[in-house]
Amino acid sequence: MGEVACPVHPGDTWMSSFILFLNQGTLPENRAEARRIQRKAVRYALRDGELYKRSYLDPWLRCITPEEERQVLHKIHEGLCGVHVGYRMLAKKTLLPGYFWPSVRQDAQNLVLDCASCQEIAVKME
Protein backbone atom coordinates (compact mmCIF):
# COMPACT_ATOMS: atom_id res chain seq x y z
CA MET A 1 0.00 0.00 0.00
CA GLY A 2 1.48 3.39 -0.97
CA GLU A 3 1.75 6.32 1.36
CA VAL A 4 -1.21 8.67 1.47
CA ALA A 5 -0.04 12.28 1.19
CA CYS A 6 -1.83 14.43 3.73
CA PRO A 7 0.11 17.17 5.57
CA VAL A 8 -0.20 17.29 9.34
CA HIS A 9 -0.96 20.70 10.83
CA PRO A 10 -1.07 21.27 14.59
CA GLY A 11 -4.61 22.18 15.63
CA ASP A 12 -6.30 20.03 12.98
CA THR A 13 -6.54 16.56 14.53
CA TRP A 14 -6.31 14.33 17.62
CA MET A 15 -2.53 14.56 17.16
CA SER A 16 -2.34 18.31 17.74
CA SER A 17 -1.54 18.29 21.45
CA PHE A 18 1.20 15.69 21.00
CA ILE A 19 2.76 17.55 18.08
CA LEU A 20 2.75 20.86 19.94
CA PHE A 21 4.20 19.30 23.07
CA LEU A 22 6.93 17.31 21.30
CA ASN A 23 7.81 20.11 18.89
CA GLN A 24 7.52 23.20 21.10
CA GLY A 25 6.95 21.96 24.66
CA THR A 26 3.49 23.58 24.62
CA LEU A 27 0.79 21.99 26.77
CA PRO A 28 -2.98 22.56 26.90
CA GLU A 29 -4.22 25.01 29.54
CA ASN A 30 -6.43 22.37 31.14
CA ARG A 31 -4.26 20.75 33.84
CA ALA A 32 -5.78 17.28 33.52
CA GLU A 33 -5.34 17.33 29.74
CA ALA A 34 -1.77 18.63 30.12
CA ARG A 35 -0.91 15.75 32.50
CA ARG A 36 -2.50 13.26 30.10
CA ILE A 37 -0.40 14.57 27.20
CA GLN A 38 2.81 14.52 29.27
CA ARG A 39 2.12 10.95 30.44
CA LYS A 40 1.29 9.61 26.98
CA ALA A 41 3.92 11.60 25.05
CA VAL A 42 6.68 9.17 26.05
CA ARG A 43 5.18 6.72 23.53
CA TYR A 44 5.21 9.28 20.69
CA ALA A 45 7.95 10.85 18.57
CA LEU A 46 8.21 13.37 15.75
CA ARG A 47 10.24 12.38 12.69
CA ASP A 48 10.45 14.63 9.65
CA GLY A 49 7.27 16.41 10.73
CA GLU A 50 5.30 13.15 11.12
CA LEU A 51 3.98 11.84 14.44
CA TYR A 52 4.75 8.21 15.31
CA LYS A 53 3.61 6.02 18.19
CA ARG A 54 5.57 3.09 19.61
CA SER A 55 3.54 -0.11 19.40
CA TYR A 56 3.54 -3.03 21.84
CA LEU A 57 6.01 -5.01 19.75
CA ASP A 58 8.29 -1.97 19.52
CA PRO A 59 7.98 -0.85 15.87
CA TRP A 60 6.85 2.71 15.28
CA LEU A 61 3.36 3.29 13.83
CA ARG A 62 2.69 6.40 11.76
CA CYS A 63 -0.15 8.44 13.23
CA ILE A 64 -2.60 9.52 10.56
CA THR A 65 -5.29 12.15 10.10
CA PRO A 66 -9.04 11.44 9.93
CA GLU A 67 -8.97 11.74 6.13
CA GLU A 68 -6.17 9.19 5.89
CA GLU A 69 -7.92 6.93 8.42
CA ARG A 70 -10.93 6.49 6.15
CA GLN A 71 -8.77 5.86 3.08
CA VAL A 72 -6.53 3.31 4.81
CA LEU A 73 -9.41 1.46 6.45
CA HIS A 74 -11.37 1.19 3.19
CA LYS A 75 -8.30 0.12 1.17
CA ILE A 76 -7.49 -2.63 3.65
CA HIS A 77 -11.13 -3.72 3.96
CA GLU A 78 -11.68 -3.93 0.22
CA GLY A 79 -8.17 -5.08 -0.74
CA LEU A 80 -6.41 -7.26 1.81
CA CYS A 81 -9.61 -8.20 3.60
CA GLY A 82 -11.74 -8.89 0.57
CA VAL A 83 -12.99 -11.94 2.42
CA HIS A 84 -14.73 -9.56 4.84
CA VAL A 85 -13.27 -10.65 8.16
CA GLY A 86 -14.59 -9.27 11.43
CA TYR A 87 -13.70 -5.86 12.82
CA ARG A 88 -11.01 -7.13 15.22
CA MET A 89 -9.02 -8.67 12.36
CA LEU A 90 -9.59 -5.58 10.22
CA ALA A 91 -8.21 -3.37 13.00
CA LYS A 92 -5.16 -5.64 13.41
CA LYS A 93 -4.54 -5.66 9.66
CA THR A 94 -4.64 -1.86 9.74
CA LEU A 95 -1.83 -1.76 12.32
CA LEU A 96 0.37 -4.26 10.43
CA PRO A 97 1.37 -1.83 7.63
CA GLY A 98 2.32 0.65 10.36
CA TYR A 99 -0.66 2.99 10.84
CA PHE A 100 -2.20 4.23 14.09
CA TRP A 101 -5.10 6.36 15.29
CA PRO A 102 -6.89 6.10 18.64
CA SER A 103 -10.28 5.00 17.31
CA VAL A 104 -9.03 2.33 14.88
CA ARG A 105 -11.02 -0.47 16.55
CA GLN A 106 -14.25 1.52 16.74
CA ASP A 107 -13.86 2.74 13.15
CA ALA A 108 -13.23 -0.83 11.95
CA GLN A 109 -16.31 -2.03 13.82
CA ASN A 110 -18.45 0.72 12.28
CA LEU A 111 -17.20 -0.14 8.77
CA VAL A 112 -17.90 -3.87 9.26
CA LEU A 113 -21.38 -3.16 10.66
CA ASP A 114 -22.15 -0.99 7.61
CA CYS A 115 -20.84 -3.58 5.11
CA ALA A 116 -23.58 -5.82 3.72
CA SER A 117 -21.07 -8.51 2.67
CA CYS A 118 -19.54 -8.64 6.16
CA GLN A 119 -22.98 -8.98 7.73
CA GLU A 120 -23.99 -11.70 5.29
CA ILE A 121 -20.83 -13.70 6.06
CA ALA A 122 -21.32 -13.23 9.81
CA VAL A 123 -24.84 -14.70 9.58
CA LYS A 124 -23.53 -17.71 7.62
CA MET A 125 -20.85 -18.36 10.24
CA GLU A 126 -23.33 -18.50 13.17
- pLDDT tens, position by position, 45-70: 999 989 999 987 778 999 998 888 88
* Polymer length in residues for the chain: 126
- Whole-model pTM over 0.95: no
Please indicate whether residue 98 or residue 11 has the higher confidence score (pLDDT): 98
Residues 59, 70, single domain; the answer is no
Residues 102, 123, single domain; the answer is yes
Question: Is 1 among the domain residues?
Answer: no
Q: In what order do the strands lie in the sheet with 60-63?
A: 44-47, 50-54, 60-63, 99-100
C-beta separation of 51 from 18 below 8 A: yes
Domain that includes residue 13, residue range: 9-63
Residues 122, 77, single domain; the answer is yes
C-beta separation of 93 from 114 below 8 A: no
Please indicate whether residue 62 or residue 120 has the higher confidence score (pLDDT): 62
Domain boundary among 63, 80, 102: 63
Question: Is 4 among the domain residues?
Answer: no
Counting the structural domains of the chain, the total is 2
CA distance 68 to 52: 14
